Chains A and B, each alone.
Chain A
Amino acid sequence: MIYLDNAATSLIKPPSVIRSMNENTLRNSVNAGRGGHIFSRRGAAIIAETADALAHLFNISNPERIAFTSNATLALNMAILGTGAGGGHIIVTSMEHNSVLRPVNLLGNYTMVQADSEGFIDPDDLKKAIKPDTVLIICTHASNVSGSIEPIAEIGKIAREHNLLFLVDAAQSAGVLDIDTESMMIDLLAFSGHKGLLGPLGTGGLYVGERARLTPFITGGTGSSSERLVQPDYMPDMLHSGTLNTPAIAALGTAVKFIKKTGTDRIHHEELSLAKELISHIEKIEGVQIIGTKDMKKRNGTVSFTIDGMDSQAVAELLSDKYGIAVRGGWHCAYQAHKTLGTAEAGVVRASFGIFNKKSDAISLANAVREITLYKKGAVQ
């Protein structure tokens, strides 16, 4: 089977991550911060070590401001509901995933800024959407549909100039693109641990910068300040209600070390060269449309395409069942992005490359797509 759905999760992990997961499940299935015994302390040391590694990767000066979550969705909900609970106006883009749009819609007071037909946001449009009661701007770093890389640093500057908080959805960029919370002026960074960071499923996190004041919407036991009925107001405990998944967080730390050793530049470059390889083959096939920009400097290793007259989910199923290639059809939990890109009717077939894919994977997919289009035309029986 060829796995090309790394935008959903990175199925293949570095061997060191698998080892770490196994060893830590065996030895460190410990409850950090519950009790004063050695296991509780060991758990806390593991959590702190992974936070340190992430802080280094994202240029975060205080690792204590990183909270671990089970995925990016929970982190985004914490950031959005925690910032917007007061009813302030929020600006989002049409390229956001439902894990942004649904919590924002729940709050109600928001403006959705349209991206262009290739999926790019014009920072000026975001600026124009600012109202007197705006509190937050949210933008995805890289689209999970078009692969477009958004001008995060420019948007961060606008948010800072207007004294607004800036939340970046790094689900598709963490571990692949450079993220510098300082120079990009990011106040809130939500990330998955299980996608580009190559950590285990059930990992993710939220960085909460010094300027951000969040109201925690999940409260409970934190192992600290237990005498009080209110949630601790200090990070990370404020957002760490309930038992953390210590072995998975340990393995995420190992994954971050792998990313740092390999280098995000190299990872991005390799994924991009596979995307380029695929595009170079399928763009020549009649009836195949590539979605988004062909300017490789502005995109990541996600390639979405349509085949004229064919349902994207049917194509994805055919690729899986007949050719042993796992890609994702449909709307990718981002219908507004599809509307923006003009693909809302039939969705797209999305191939997303990871660091462990090979050139032959891209070629196999291109050959399969070519054969499918020939079948469709009746040229092949």
Chain B
Amino acid sequence: MSQIYAVIGPITTAVRLSKELAKRRIPSKVVHTPGNNGGCSYSVMTDESRYELLVSLSERYRIKQILKSDSDL
């Protein structure tokens, strides 16, 4: 399964999104944004099947972009 990254600025917001996903029983992990996307900002990594859900949570968790595949990195 491929992973996607919800790119967020502050780590506290990333932790909150990860908690929200956990409440929905969706595994995720707070990681440094991979590649050179956003310096040492934080992202939430989860399964790519959650793309639509992340889009719907974008405003609330200030998701700047969703990196879908290795080619985005």
Contact = CB atoms under 8 A, between A and B. Distances in A.
Interface of A: 32-33, 35-36, 40-41, 44-45, 47-48, 51, 64, 222-228, 232, 234-237, 240
Interface string B1-31: 0000000011111111001000000000011
Contacts of A236: 10, 12
Contacts of B40: 223-226
Contact of B11 (A51, A224, A228): A224
Contacts, number: 67
B16 A48 contact: yes
16 contacts: A36-B30, A36-B42, A41-B30, A44-B12, A45-B19, A47-B12, A48-B15, A48-B19, A224-B38, A224-B42, A225-B38, A226-B39, A227-B36, A234-B62, A235-B10, A236-B10
B15 A44 contact: yes
How would you classify the secondary structure of chain A's contact residues: helix, strand, loop or mixed? loop
Nearest to A235: B10
Interface residues of B, number: 19
A222 B14 CA distance: 14
Interface of B: 9-16, 19, 30-32, 36, 38-42, 62
Given A36-B32, A41-B30, A236-B10, A225 B15 contact: no
> Which of the listed residues B12, B31, B32, B38 has the most CB atoms from chain A within 10 Å of its own CB?
B12
A225 to B, nearest CB: 5
A35 B40 CA distance: 8
A246 to B, nearest CB: 12
Contact of A223 (B11, B15, B19): B11
B12 A225 contact: no
Contacts of A64: 10, 12-13, 16, 62
B9 A225 contact: yes
Contacts of A227: 36, 38-39
Contact of A44 (B30, B31, B38, B41): B30
A64 B60 CA distance: 11
Contacts of B39: 224-228
Nearest to B37: A227
A240 B14 CA distance: 16
Contacts of A47: 12
Contact of B12 (A33, A35, A232): A33
B30 A237 contact: no
